[in-house]
Structure 1
Amino acid sequence: MTESYYAAVYWPARLESAEECARRSVTFFRLLAQCDEIYARWFEQGDSLEEALQREFTPDFTTFLRFYQSEENQLGRDGFSFGAWTGHAEDGRGGMVNLTCGDASGAYPNCCLLYLPWLEIEPEGPRVMTTAALVNVLRAMVLAWEPLFGVIATHEFRRALRPAGDPRGFVGWLTYVSRARGEVPLLPPSVRVEPVEDKGNLIVCGPERLSAANPEHVALGRRIQEVLDTKGLLRPVLE
């Protein structure tokens, strides 16, 4: 079974202007570019591959402000959405970002989702899909968006740990929990916990990628998740 990994962070309803979302976006893309060269170039999404490849943009404040002030990127009375990709069409998906930010109603959950390279298909995969690189990716997301919860995992691993429709967070290969949720308790010795400045804690289950196809990985994820559930650290972002 080939599993595709993603990185995601989520935060509750939080009213933010186009200017505030633009500033956070600049921070995110700047920090992400420092993680790996695959994130150095970005393109707007288009109706076709040819169209999208003509829409390269510079991720600066003026550009993001223009995006968020555009009606096509606005959500209801408040909130914004935006999508971008790295243009690696010949090798797979490269990196693709979907953003929802600035929403105060809860109707459009605020999140930042980054699809990661395919390990077996894309040449950047072995370089990006390492613990060291992905710790920096998740840190970039946390520092830019200040979420309550974040994770790097696969959809298959999530389904192995939570029933369908369960709104709680879950444990992935890497998991982030905001300090606002509480302190991370003692976890198994193989698990590393490190702070992300004063924002919260990043939990690294180990150097090996957690896969739903490996029963030992699933068992480890469940053990960690039970401990975090007991402390209420993975309760739903939208309560």
Structure 2
Amino acid sequence: MQDKYYVGAYWGPRQETALECARRAELFFHMLARCDPTFTQWYGAGRGSPRELPGWPVRPELKELESLFLKGRNRTDVGREVIEDLGFSRIVWNAKKEATEIHLTCGGYSPWGGPNLCLLYPPRQGAVRERLLQAPVLAEVLTSMVTAWNPDYAMAGSSQMVDLVEKGEFEVRMGWLMYLSRRLGNLPPLPAPVRIEPVGALGWLLVLSPEPMTASNPEHVAFTARVRELLDRAGLIERPEPGPINE
């Protein structure tokens, strides 16, 4: 079975306006455009979008992104009232077929809500997928996310690998590539071939292997689990459960 790869960045409650989220998104999309030629044009949902296009074109400009987030406010089922502390959620994509999707949830500050996040799903097949699933390219994508969104942690890897090595619901997810914010603590010594690179003053990028890591390879699974254990001993894996700050 083919691994389903994705890139994800996650952070806790952070109250931000649609404009503040748009500033981060603008930086993210501009940095992302350098990672692959297909990352220069994005589309979103909306009534009456041109049939010849994948959706309504989304320009990565501040005011347009602010408007996009305002349209993506979470609302109650009854009365359609805005739920302020759940922030904003949007999905964009870049093609009709073999599309890359980006899911954004930001500006949320409810202690009970889900995490703020930025997820990128590569196509399931094709040349773009092959280009993206290379460690140097994924490192660029991950660095773009981290620089723009300043998450607590981020990863690039397969959902199957996460399922195999994850031990709790509230923990840092392990991936082929990972990012850990300095807010979480200090890195312990890690075994070869793990490569560690700083991401400015924000945190560290960890590349567990120069080659793609798959859940179907027992050696890859064992090594990922080993790195997880070392990070867990250093207090970098377990995350607090959602709940009131003063509980």
1:133 is matched by which residue type in structure 2? V
User: Does the 8 Å CA contact 1:185/1:227 hold for their aligned counterparts?
Assistant: yes
Q: CA deviation at 1:115?
A: 0.3
User: Does the 8 Å CA contact 1:12/1:238 hold for their aligned counterparts?
Assistant: no
Q: CA deviation at 1:123?
A: 1.5
User: Does the 8 Å CA contact 1:153/1:210 hold for their aligned counterparts?
Assistant: yes
Higher deviation after alignment, 45-54 or 177-186: 45-54
Distance 1:237 1:33, change over 3 A: farther
Match of residue 212, structure 2, among 206, 209, 228: 209
Residue matched to 1:97: 102
CA distance in 1, matches of 2:105, 2:52: 23
Residue matched to 2:245: none
- TM (norm. structure 2) is 0.88
Q: How many residues are matched?
A: 232
Match of residue 84, structure 1, among 88, 92, 98: 92
User: Does the 8 Å CA contact 1:211/1:217 hold for their aligned counterparts?
Assistant: yes
CA displacement, residues 49-71 of structure 1 (integer Å, 9 cap, x when unaligned): 9497241121110111111222x
Residue matched to 1:112: 118
CA distance in 1, matches of 2:175, 2:55: 36
1:114 is matched by which residue type in structure 2? L
1:101 is matched by which residue type in structure 2? C
Residue matched to 1:218: 221
Match of residue 178, structure 2, among 175, 178, 184: 175
User: Does the 8 Å CA contact 1:13/1:238 hold for their aligned counterparts?
Assistant: no
Distance 1:160 1:197, change over 3 A: same
Residue identity (%): 36
Higher deviation after alignment, 222-231 or 38-47: 38-47
CA distance in 2, matches of 1:84, 1:237: 30
Taking the TM superposition and a 5 Å limit, the aligned residue runs for 1:138-177 are 138-163=142-167, 166-177=169-180
Unmatched segments (≥5 aa) in structure 1: none
Residue matched to 2:66: 65
Distance 1:225 1:173, change over 3 A: same
Distance 1:238 1:146, change over 3 A: farther
Aligned-residue CA RMSD (Å): 1.9
2:114 is matched by which residue type in structure 1? Y
Unmatched segments (≥5 aa) in structure 2: 76-82, 243-247
Q: CA deviation at 1:232?
A: 1.0
Residue matched to 1:25: 25
User: Does the 8 Å CA contact 1:10/1:237 hold for their aligned counterparts?
Assistant: no
Q: CA deviation at 1:45?
A: 3.0
